[in-house]
Structure formats: C-alpha cells, structure tokens
Amino acid sequence: MAQPRILTLRKNILSKNDELARELRMRFSRHGVFVANLVSSPGSGKTELLYRTLNELGKSHRAAAITGDLATEN
C-alpha cells in the first residue's frame, strides 16, 4: 500500500473567491443591503424559514430572495 503524501499549500486556492466575496460585502454594505446565506442539510426547513421571513419582512421592508438547489438533479 502506498504511503500517504502530505502537501504543503503555499497559496490559498480560494483567494479569488475570498476577494470577490469581500468586494460583494463592501458593495452590499455601501447600499445598506442585508444579505444572508442559508446552508443546511436537505429537508431541514431552509425554504420554509425563508418563505416565512420574507412574508414578515415584506410588510415593512423591500425583500427578495435568490435561491439555488444544489442537491436536486433537474
């Protein structure tokens, strides 16, 4: 059996992603936009939480959602 190799990474492989996330956070903040990311296991109630939250927020604030389902094959 081959011995496992240990690699030392000298560069953050997500550095471009981190940079883009930082830019988006700054842009949202400048415009007073609250952004949340809901991540959890399938069936845990994320969609229901989002639906109810937007219904309540919509009474006093402009609110919207962008959704993506990574688990379902279409």
d(CA 39, CA 68): 11
Give the pLDDT score at 60.
94
List of residues 6+ apart from 47 with CB closer than 8 A: 67
Average pLDDT rounded to a whole number, residues 46-59: 92
Average pLDDT rounded to a whole number, residues 52-59: 92
Give the pLDDT score at 12.
84
Q: Is the pLDDT of residue 74 over 90?
A: no
As a whole number, the mean pLDDT across the chain is 89
Average pLDDT rounded to a whole number, residues 13-24: 94
